[in-house]
Amino acid sequence: MNRREKILAGTVGLLFLVVIVNFGAKRVIAMFTSRSDRAAELDEALTDTEVVIRRGEIAKGTLSVFEERSLPSDPVLANSRYRAWLHEWAEEAGITNETVKYIVSRRMRNTYDLHTFTVTCQC
C-alpha cells in the first residue's frame, strides 16, 4: 500500500467511525429526550390529577354544607322538620297565632321534593 492508499483508507475509516459515533450519539440523545418528555408528561398528569383532587375536596366540603342545611330525603321527616322550622321562624319574628298548613309535596325532575306550606298569622 502506498501513502495515498493509506490516507484514503484512514479517511474512510475515520468517516465510518464518525458515522457510527453520530448514530450512537443520536440514539443516546433520543433516549434522554424520550425520558425527559415522558417525565414532563407524567408531571403534567400528576398536576392535573392533583387539581382534580383539590376540586373534589372543595366540592365535597360544599356538598357537606348543603347537606347540613338541607332537609332529610324522607318526605315525612322533611315535612315535620320544615314545619318545626317555620314555627321557630314565626316565633323569632314575633308572629302570634301562626298556623302552618301543609299543602302538597311534589317530586321535581326526580331530583328533589318540593314541599308547599302556607303560614297564616296575626301580626
**82, 103 in Cβ contact below 8 A?**
no
Q: According to the model, what pLDDT value does residue 123 have?
A: 64
Give the integer Cα–Cα distance in Å for 81 and 73: 11
Q: Where are the domains of the chain?
A: 1-70, 72-123
Distance CA 84, CA 91 (A): 11
Nearest to 97 by CA among 114, 74, 120, 70: 120
Note down pLDDT in tens along the chain; length 123 residues.
788 888 888 898 999 898 898 888 888 888 888 888 888 899 999 999 999 999 999 999 999 999 888 888 888 888 888 888 888 888 888 887 888 888 877 888 887 778 888 888 876
Q: Determine what percent of the chain falls in helix, strand and coil, rounding each to the nearest 5.
A: 70, 20, 10
